[in-house]
Amino acid sequence: MPTYRSSHRPGGESPGSVAARLTGCSVAGERPLSSALTEVALDGGQSVIVKRASDPGAAAAEAAGLRWLAEPGSVRVPEVHGHDAIWLVLDRVPSGRASKAGALRFGRALAALHAAGADAFGAPPPGGPVDAAIGLAPMRNVTAAQWPGWYAEQRVLPYLRSAVDSGTVRADEARLVEQVCARLPELAGPAEPVARLHGDLWSGNVLWDADGEAWLIDPAAHGGHRETDLAMLHLFGCPHLDRVLDGYEEEAPLADGWRERIGLHQLFPLLVHTVLFGRSYAERALRAAESALGR
């Protein structure tokens, strides 16, 4: 059994008192998990996660994203018990290991989530802000009717400019990414309907419960291209990814050539990582740009 204790923070509200205020339940104990996360045991045996947001508005954005992803009833996401400008209270996902059967079901569920759609490319979840975030980086949810121009202007070029301004990417290197953006209408493949994206679907945001079933956390949810979520699963690996893809294609076959477009869709998260973490990701982004151009 985990050991719970008080984690009151001097000069501020403790996670336990936040959980009590936002759930209306009495608290039995607290167990810090990180600087931002605390597991709180409620009277009656239920455990919740209390998360302190990185900046004002982030908790509301995450809550809106989780509720939007839950709406179709396809993927598992933690229930949101409440939030304010700083704090978010969620169900705790029991920890376990991935299973092949669970991965297959996750692929099918992810396809169904994407098919639930959104109003436009870049559309935020209902109640979600235009000025949102992906991890610790800002992300604007500005809408457009066509994916190629939107992806270039709202997802690739803002982070490329930041990387150039900071000196992480050289101006001559940036021209390679700009060439990809200029050719996006021909590189993007067949037109796709707007998908309801998790938006930050790297493996760390896929949790596996005690039954080997997948749960999604920490979304940067918006309307986008379904291949972007799948490219992000490829970026840092995912348990039983081949089974995830099998399940996805059973539910909603992908357009021809989608594997050749993985680098194109990875440009966005790799440039975000370049802005946040530096040169090693810039080099990966440049390789992804070369891949998108067929080099």
Active site residues: 200
Q: Which residues pair with 89 in a beta bridge?
A: 50, 82
Alpha-carbon span 102 to 107, nearest angstrom: 9
Handedness of CA 28, 33, 38, 44 (dihedral sign): negative
With a CB cutoff of 8 Å and minimum separation 6, the contacts of 109 are: 74, 75, 76, 214, 247
Which uninterrupted H or E stretch holds 50? strand 47-52
d(CA 248, CA 75): 12
CA geometry: angle at 273 spanning 88 and 237, to 5°? 85
The amino acid occupying position 35 is: S
